[in-house]
Structure 1
């Protein structure tokens, strides 16, 4: 008896089973976020390594077919307009620069609203989350924001519940809303989405081709801003990111520990062993570092910076600056204007285990 012929799905059946992605590039989008995401789709879509869209397909969509400029200057032309686009399973919004050029058009916002009202899962990458907020499709959802854009997000959307904002993780999947901090994490969030539909080997093969290895899970901490090492324990890394996220607020130690599923005493011990400092001392150093960065990178007043960084007033900030740098804030600004914080060795020294930074705050239940 001869072996039966294999059953080959018809083109219609294959098309129906294919996972469909629509990608919208916002003005000044980040090329890394776009390319990382779409390359994961490309490498996972086909067994023969010919980049054929067998398992999934992707299309770049736009209000018009006018090229969209990335923040690096490269331009990409949409393949289809919103009016002619077919329904997709995932609508991916890729953002980038916030303060340069036009934002998403009203037609783009309306297209996102229509997709979100149906069965489409909406994905915001990098500052694409800002556009999802403007479209009004993130109500009652947890929202992942890059630590770098946390304060921009708070300023633009002050009515959002602070507990819903996640600025210490790579990405968040909350029902049919997915938000991602951007950069290299776009690869990780693409892998997490593909694992919903494909076997692990298929997704792992794509990661290996990209020389990524294992994907990072959504609850992995976002990388540190410069100078915040040597903390290596994931709980300490996340604690530091939370401190920076709320650098202007008087955060009780118990509240911070609760967010990390630790007791206050556990966090205190772990922090001391990893950084050589208490959470309170580290938070005070972080406030000074942030104030120094604002002094050299903005024209905000000393009083405004003091308020933003959790100091009681300009005099309080002035005392701390004289104590650590030997000069008042305005002189510090004049001497170091135009420099990056990574060029301040005396700032980086704060975060070394042998640093003797002191805090003028009396012992208590808060970090500041």
Structure 2
């Protein structure tokens, strides 16, 4: 059974750029055909089951974790795969609301999101679109646009530089626990690889070791704190996870060429 569809019409719809959005859970009798295409773009995210799209005579199947992006003006057909249900969230939107670089010049993109963390983030963003439509509270136009833009940015990021989902998850875990003690054995256990295999794959993918990447995250965060707060270098070192101040000092000088105190006093930019 399909959930309610949230629609906009007239000048209100044109102001927001989002024309229609909803959450469907449809049997294999569901099908939509548009020989002339649409003025809007269509984005979907499949939660369960399978759906399909047909463009230029090519049939593409989408399953759980797949994001599809259908270009405006593209003749198409889509629906639920035979013998399945298709549980998905979707939105039609005007290209006027997006930066040109976020909308690739392809009729149809079907992109599988392997990372569970990214899947959850995209789904949360879709739910915000639906919630803001339903509530129609203050600034709901802008809020729904921002949520949709987040989804498209995540998609653009993944398509511009594909990365092994295990390394993507490792980077996320490093960022989330940056201020804590991080052990490669624990990371490897969480990812499902041996410590040696994770270390090799990480270096092969990113060009840096896990430890170097963690130190780089910490130092960049330290630079931001030094630039935008009145905390001392010693306090900042502890804030970002360095228990040894001399190690922090050496790492900071290696990246920025000056000590933390000079960096803070002379007003260097955080990305210097």
TM range (shorter): 0.3 to 0.5
Greater share of strand: 2
* TM-score, normalised with respect to structure 1: 0.37
TM-score, L = length of structure 2: 0.48
